[in-house]
A and B are shown apart, each in its own frame.
Chain A
Amino acid sequence: AQSVTQPDIHITVSEGASLELRCNYSYGATPYLFWYVQSPGQGLQLLLKYFSGDTLVQGIKGFEAEFKRSQSSFNLRKPSVHWSDAAEYFCAADGPGDSNYQLIWGAGTKLIIKP
Protein backbone atom coordinates (compact mmCIF):
# COMPACT_ATOMS: atom_id res chain seq x y z
CA ALA A 1 0.00 0.00 0.00
CA GLN A 2 1.11 3.53 -0.66
CA SER A 3 2.37 5.32 2.42
CA VAL A 4 4.35 8.26 3.69
CA THR A 5 6.35 8.01 6.90
CA GLN A 6 7.74 10.78 9.04
CA PRO A 7 9.81 8.94 11.64
CA ASP A 8 10.13 11.83 14.07
CA ILE A 9 7.02 12.88 15.99
CA HIS A 10 8.78 15.96 17.29
CA ILE A 11 12.20 17.56 16.96
CA THR A 12 13.77 20.26 19.13
CA VAL A 13 16.50 22.51 17.76
CA SER A 14 18.12 25.70 18.97
CA GLU A 15 17.43 28.94 17.17
CA GLY A 16 20.11 29.42 14.53
CA ALA A 17 20.89 25.72 14.27
CA SER A 18 20.39 23.66 11.15
CA LEU A 19 17.34 21.47 10.64
CA GLU A 20 16.56 18.25 8.82
CA LEU A 21 13.12 16.65 8.87
CA ARG A 22 12.84 13.15 7.50
CA CYS A 23 10.27 11.78 5.09
CA ASN A 24 10.15 8.34 3.48
CA TYR A 25 7.63 7.12 0.98
CA SER A 26 6.43 3.79 -0.29
CA TYR A 27 4.96 3.87 -3.78
CA GLY A 28 5.04 1.71 -6.86
CA ALA A 29 6.55 4.52 -8.89
CA THR A 30 8.18 7.80 -7.93
CA PRO A 31 5.37 9.99 -6.62
CA TYR A 32 5.00 13.71 -6.62
CA LEU A 33 6.26 14.90 -3.24
CA PHE A 34 5.32 17.88 -1.11
CA TRP A 35 6.18 19.53 2.17
CA TYR A 36 3.56 21.59 3.96
CA VAL A 37 3.75 23.58 7.19
CA GLN A 38 0.90 24.08 9.63
CA SER A 39 1.08 26.69 12.36
CA PRO A 40 -1.30 26.42 15.33
CA GLY A 41 -4.83 27.21 14.27
CA GLN A 42 -3.77 27.66 10.66
CA GLY A 43 -4.33 25.76 7.46
CA LEU A 44 -1.57 24.04 5.54
CA GLN A 45 0.91 26.15 3.60
CA LEU A 46 2.90 24.64 0.75
CA LEU A 47 6.67 24.94 1.32
CA LEU A 48 7.92 23.14 -1.77
CA LYS A 49 7.20 20.33 -4.18
CA TYR A 50 9.03 17.82 -6.34
CA PHE A 51 7.66 16.46 -9.58
CA SER A 52 10.75 15.57 -11.60
CA GLY A 53 14.14 16.89 -12.65
CA ASP A 54 16.61 18.47 -10.26
CA THR A 55 16.56 16.47 -7.05
CA LEU A 56 17.31 19.49 -4.86
CA VAL A 57 14.21 21.63 -4.59
CA GLN A 58 14.11 25.15 -3.21
CA GLY A 59 11.05 26.38 -1.38
CA ILE A 60 9.77 29.35 0.52
CA LYS A 61 11.05 30.63 3.86
CA GLY A 62 14.58 29.35 3.18
CA PHE A 63 13.62 25.67 3.09
CA GLU A 64 14.94 23.10 0.65
CA ALA A 65 14.39 19.38 0.18
CA GLU A 66 16.37 16.66 -1.51
CA PHE A 67 14.78 13.75 -3.33
CA LYS A 68 16.78 10.52 -3.07
CA ARG A 69 15.30 7.72 -5.15
CA SER A 70 17.66 5.08 -3.75
CA GLN A 71 16.48 5.82 -0.22
CA SER A 72 12.84 6.62 -1.07
CA SER A 73 13.32 9.81 0.88
CA PHE A 74 12.46 13.48 0.57
CA ASN A 75 14.02 15.20 3.56
CA LEU A 76 13.40 18.84 4.37
CA ARG A 77 16.29 21.06 5.41
CA LYS A 78 16.98 24.57 6.56
CA PRO A 79 20.46 25.91 7.33
CA SER A 80 19.43 28.16 10.21
CA VAL A 81 16.06 28.03 11.94
CA HIS A 82 14.20 31.00 13.34
CA TRP A 83 11.74 30.98 16.24
CA SER A 84 8.96 31.62 13.75
CA ASP A 85 9.65 28.22 12.16
CA ALA A 86 8.07 26.47 15.16
CA ALA A 87 5.15 24.60 13.65
CA GLU A 88 4.11 21.18 12.45
CA TYR A 89 5.54 19.94 9.17
CA PHE A 90 3.84 17.43 6.93
CA CYS A 91 5.24 15.46 4.05
CA ALA A 92 2.74 14.32 1.43
CA ALA A 93 2.81 12.33 -1.79
CA ASP A 94 0.62 11.79 -4.82
CA GLY A 95 1.04 9.06 -7.40
CA PRO A 96 1.86 10.35 -10.88
CA GLY A 97 -0.94 9.68 -13.26
CA ASP A 98 -3.49 9.31 -10.49
CA SER A 99 -6.72 10.76 -11.72
CA ASN A 100 -7.94 12.21 -8.49
CA TYR A 101 -4.88 13.94 -7.04
CA GLN A 102 -5.36 12.27 -3.69
CA LEU A 103 -2.58 13.25 -1.31
CA ILE A 104 -1.21 10.63 1.08
CA TRP A 105 0.14 12.28 4.21
CA GLY A 106 2.69 11.54 6.85
CA ALA A 107 1.69 11.94 10.48
CA GLY A 108 3.68 15.15 10.83
CA THR A 109 6.73 16.32 12.74
CA LYS A 110 6.35 19.01 15.35
CA LEU A 111 9.28 21.41 15.35
CA ILE A 112 10.15 23.04 18.67
CA ILE A 113 12.66 25.88 18.74
CA LYS A 114 14.81 26.47 21.81
CA PRO A 115 15.81 30.08 22.41
Chain B
Amino acid sequence: ETGVTQSPTHLIKTRGQQVTLRCSSQSGHNTVSWYQQALGQGPQFIFQYYREEENGRGNFPPRFSGLQFPNYSSELNVNALELDDSALYLCASSDPTSGSTDTQYFGPGTRLTVL
Protein backbone atom coordinates (compact mmCIF):
# COMPACT_ATOMS: atom_id res chain seq x y z
CA GLU B 1 0.00 0.00 0.00
CA THR B 2 1.58 3.27 -1.09
CA GLY B 3 1.24 6.45 0.93
CA VAL B 4 0.35 9.94 -0.19
CA THR B 5 2.89 11.45 -2.55
CA GLN B 6 3.28 15.04 -3.73
CA SER B 7 5.24 16.74 -6.46
CA PRO B 8 7.31 18.74 -6.80
CA THR B 9 9.11 18.87 -3.47
CA HIS B 10 10.16 22.49 -3.84
CA LEU B 11 9.15 25.23 -6.23
CA ILE B 12 10.19 28.84 -6.73
CA LYS B 13 7.94 31.24 -8.63
CA THR B 14 7.62 34.98 -9.06
CA ARG B 15 4.65 37.17 -8.29
CA GLY B 16 1.89 36.98 -10.87
CA GLN B 17 2.84 33.54 -12.12
CA GLN B 18 0.68 30.45 -11.95
CA VAL B 19 1.56 27.15 -10.29
CA THR B 20 0.22 23.60 -10.30
CA LEU B 21 0.91 21.20 -7.44
CA ARG B 22 0.16 17.49 -7.65
CA CYS B 23 -0.91 14.82 -5.21
CA SER B 24 -1.41 11.08 -5.46
CA SER B 25 -3.75 9.67 -2.85
CA GLN B 26 -3.13 6.67 -0.69
CA SER B 27 -4.36 3.55 -2.42
CA GLY B 28 -8.15 3.20 -2.16
CA HIS B 29 -8.77 6.69 -0.82
CA ASN B 30 -11.40 8.67 -2.70
CA THR B 31 -11.16 11.98 -0.83
CA VAL B 32 -8.37 14.53 -1.07
CA SER B 33 -7.94 17.65 1.03
CA TRP B 34 -5.46 20.46 0.48
CA TYR B 35 -3.97 22.61 3.22
CA GLN B 36 -1.68 25.63 3.28
CA GLN B 37 0.84 25.81 6.11
CA ALA B 38 2.64 29.11 6.49
CA LEU B 39 5.89 29.14 8.40
CA GLY B 40 5.35 28.74 12.13
CA GLN B 41 1.62 28.12 11.82
CA GLY B 42 -0.79 25.24 11.70
CA PRO B 43 -2.28 24.11 8.40
CA GLN B 44 -5.23 26.03 6.94
CA PHE B 45 -7.87 24.12 5.02
CA ILE B 46 -8.08 25.16 1.36
CA PHE B 47 -10.61 22.70 -0.10
CA GLN B 48 -11.54 19.06 -0.37
CA TYR B 49 -12.50 16.86 -3.30
CA TYR B 50 -14.63 13.75 -3.09
CA ARG B 51 -15.09 11.62 -6.18
CA GLU B 52 -14.00 14.46 -8.49
CA GLU B 53 -16.35 17.07 -6.99
CA GLU B 54 -15.43 19.90 -4.64
CA ASN B 55 -16.78 18.95 -1.24
CA GLY B 56 -16.02 21.97 0.91
CA ARG B 57 -13.84 25.04 0.78
CA GLY B 58 -12.00 27.13 3.33
CA ASN B 59 -11.45 30.87 3.31
CA PHE B 60 -9.30 31.06 0.20
CA PRO B 61 -9.91 33.23 -2.89
CA PRO B 62 -11.04 31.78 -6.24
CA ARG B 63 -7.51 31.98 -7.65
CA PHE B 64 -6.96 28.80 -5.62
CA SER B 65 -8.60 26.02 -7.59
CA GLY B 66 -8.37 22.28 -7.80
CA LEU B 67 -9.13 19.13 -9.68
CA GLN B 68 -9.53 15.50 -8.79
CA PHE B 69 -9.11 12.84 -11.43
CA PRO B 70 -10.84 9.46 -11.84
CA ASN B 71 -7.86 7.72 -10.24
CA TYR B 72 -8.37 10.09 -7.24
CA SER B 73 -5.11 11.95 -7.79
CA SER B 74 -5.46 15.69 -7.46
CA GLU B 75 -4.08 19.05 -8.47
CA LEU B 76 -3.98 22.40 -6.72
CA ASN B 77 -3.70 25.40 -9.01
CA VAL B 78 -2.88 28.88 -7.83
CA ASN B 79 -3.13 31.82 -10.24
CA ALA B 80 -1.67 35.30 -9.91
CA LEU B 81 0.75 34.29 -7.19
CA GLU B 82 1.31 36.68 -4.30
CA LEU B 83 4.20 36.82 -1.87
CA ASP B 84 1.90 35.59 0.92
CA ASP B 85 1.28 32.39 -1.00
CA SER B 86 4.75 31.24 0.04
CA ALA B 87 4.05 28.22 2.24
CA LEU B 88 4.14 24.46 2.56
CA TYR B 89 1.18 22.97 0.69
CA LEU B 90 -0.04 19.70 2.11
CA CYS B 91 -2.26 17.13 0.54
CA ALA B 92 -4.16 14.58 2.63
CA SER B 93 -6.24 11.62 1.56
CA SER B 94 -8.96 9.77 3.36
CA ASP B 95 -11.70 7.26 2.78
CA PRO B 96 -14.89 8.16 4.62
CA THR B 97 -16.44 4.79 3.80
CA SER B 98 -13.63 2.77 5.37
CA GLY B 99 -14.83 3.12 8.94
CA SER B 100 -11.89 5.33 9.84
CA THR B 101 -14.02 8.42 9.69
CA ASP B 102 -12.19 11.67 9.27
CA THR B 103 -8.72 10.16 9.47
CA GLN B 104 -6.54 11.97 6.99
CA TYR B 105 -3.14 10.79 5.82
CA PHE B 106 -0.72 13.46 4.71
CA GLY B 107 1.91 13.69 2.04
CA PRO B 108 5.30 15.32 2.64
CA GLY B 109 4.19 18.61 1.12
CA THR B 110 5.38 20.99 -1.56
CA ARG B 111 7.37 24.01 -0.41
CA LEU B 112 6.38 26.99 -2.59
CA THR B 113 8.43 30.16 -2.51
CA VAL B 114 7.10 33.24 -4.27
CA LEU B 115 9.66 35.98 -4.99
**A contacts, CB < 8 Å to B:** 4, 32, 34, 36, 41-46, 49, 51, 90, 92, 94, 99-108
- How many residues in B have their beta carbons less than 8 Å from beta carbons of A? 29
Residues B106 and A101 in contact, CB atoms below 8 Å apart: no
Q: Whole-angstrom distance between the alpha carbons of A110 and B88 in the complex?
A: 17
Q: Whole-angstrom distance between the alpha carbons of A92 and B43 in the complex?
A: 10
Q: Which residues of B contact A102 (CB under 8 A)?
A: 33, 45, 48, 56, 58
Given A100-B56, A101-B33, A103-B43; A44-B90 close (CB under 8 Å): yes
Residue from A43, A51, A99 in contact with B55 in the complex, judged by beta carbons closer than 8 Å: A99
Residues A42 and B108 in contact, CB atoms below 8 Å apart: yes
Given A101-B96, A101-B102, A102-B48; A43-B107 close (CB under 8 Å): yes
The 10 sampled A-B contact pairs (Cβ below 8 Å) are: A32-B102, A43-B6, A46-B105, A90-B43, A99-B56, A101-B48, A102-B33, A103-B33, A106-B42, A107-B41
Closest residue of chain B to A45 (Cβ to Cβ) is B106
Q: How many A-B pairs fall under 8 Å by CB? A: 67
Q: Is B4 an interface residue (CB 8 A)?
A: yes
Q: Whole-angstrom distance between the alpha carbons of A51 and B58 in the complex?
A: 23
Residues A51 and B43 in contact, CB atoms below 8 Å apart: no
Residues B55 and A100 in contact, CB atoms below 8 Å apart: yes
Q: Is B31 an interface residue (CB 8 A)?
A: yes
Residues A101 and B109 in contact, CB atoms below 8 Å apart: no
Q: Is B2 an interface residue (CB 8 A)?
A: no
Residues B45 and A103 in contact, CB atoms below 8 Å apart: yes
Q: Which residues of A contact B102 (CB under 8 A)?
A: 32, 49, 51, 94, 101, 103
Q: Which residues of B contact A103 (CB under 8 A)?
A: 33, 35, 43, 45, 102, 104
